Amino acid sequence: MPCERLRAVQARIARAAADAGRDAATVRLLAASKTFDAEAVRAMAACGQHEFGENYLREALDKQAALRDLPLVWHFIGPIQGNKTRAIAEHFSWVHSVDRLKIAGRLSAQRPAGLLPLQVCIELNVSGEASKGGVAVAELPALAEAVSQLPGLQLRGLMAIPAPATDVATQRAAFRQMHEAYEALIARGHALDTLSMGMSADLEAAILEGATIVRIGTALFGERTKHA
């Protein structure tokens, strides 16, 4: 069952990449495993999936401890509280949800010296909803400039969670805005290679607009029934 789900998602990625005229190898699959237990992650890893995204620190640390025999790459993709930065800096390879300098500075300072810099994406609020996470588009250039100076971090690109939309045109418009913000940062001299966008319901639209990482939960693990 997990392997069939994984193959189905890989097939969706391959088809969308072909439609976009892109090589499917330029799109990485990140399995968003929040609320699913360590055994579900282990089963998915046995199918060949090695990158996992987690939203809740406590839950993630428990899973990492249970799975330390596996060579997995862990990404933190949830909102970040100031008192969680040390554990995130110590236990993850990537953070997709950096949206303010104070948090970025703490992650940088707390990244252990023996590890590679933490690979980070800045979360952009493309829908413009005040209640949602992510930096406003107008504030992105200054934040990117400041984050790129931090020695413990390597700025790789942008992440977004657009407001859900069922029609592809609306989905694509938000992802296109992401791509434009990304290209604008590259034009300012930032060496970026990552657009983290697209989830189970909209991965095709995201890939058409240039996603390089899609974060997929439901289509891989099934519906989430519990809240972490």
Ligand X SMILES: *Cc1c(COP(=O)(O)O)cnc(C)c1O
The structure tokens 């040390």 sit at 86
Three-state SS string across the chain, please? CHHHHHHHHHHHHHHHHHHCCCCHHHCEEEEECCCCCHHHHHHHHHCCCCEEEECCHHHHHHHHHHCCCCCCEEEECCCCCHHHHHHHHHHCCEEEEECCHHHHHHHHHHCCCCCCCEEEEEEECCCCCCCCCCECHHHHHHHHHHHHCCCCEEEEEEECCCCCCCCHHHHHHHHHHHHHHHHHHHHCCCCCCEEECCCCCCHHHHHHCCCCEEEECHHHHCCCCCCC
Q: Which stretch binds ligand X (CB under 6 A): 5-13, 38-46, 169-177, 209-217?
A: 209-217
Instruction: Name the residue number minimizing CB distance to ligand X.
Output: 217
Which residue among 43, 87, 101, 199 contacts ligand X (CB under 6 A)? Answer: 199
| CB of 133 vs ligand X, minimal distance in Å | 9
Q: Which stretch binds ligand X (CB under 6 A): 13-21, 109-117, 148-156, 217-225?
A: 217-225
Which residue among 55, 79, 180, 204 contacts ligand X (CB under 6 A)? Answer: 55
Q: Considering the rule CB under 6 A, would residue 157 count as an interface residue with ligand X?
A: no
Q: Which of residues 104-133 bind ligand X (CB under 6 A)?
A: none
Q: How many residues belong to the site for ligand X (CB under 6 A)?
A: 13
Which residue among 134, 152, 157, 217 contacts ligand X (CB under 6 A)? Answer: 217
Which residue among 34, 100, 106, 172 contacts ligand X (CB under 6 A)? Answer: 34
Which residue among 32, 143, 147, 150 contacts ligand X (CB under 6 A)? Answer: 32
**Of 166 and 187, which has the nearer Cβ to ligand X?**
166
| List of residues contacting ligand X (CB under 6 A) | 32, 34, 55, 77, 161, 199-201, 215-219
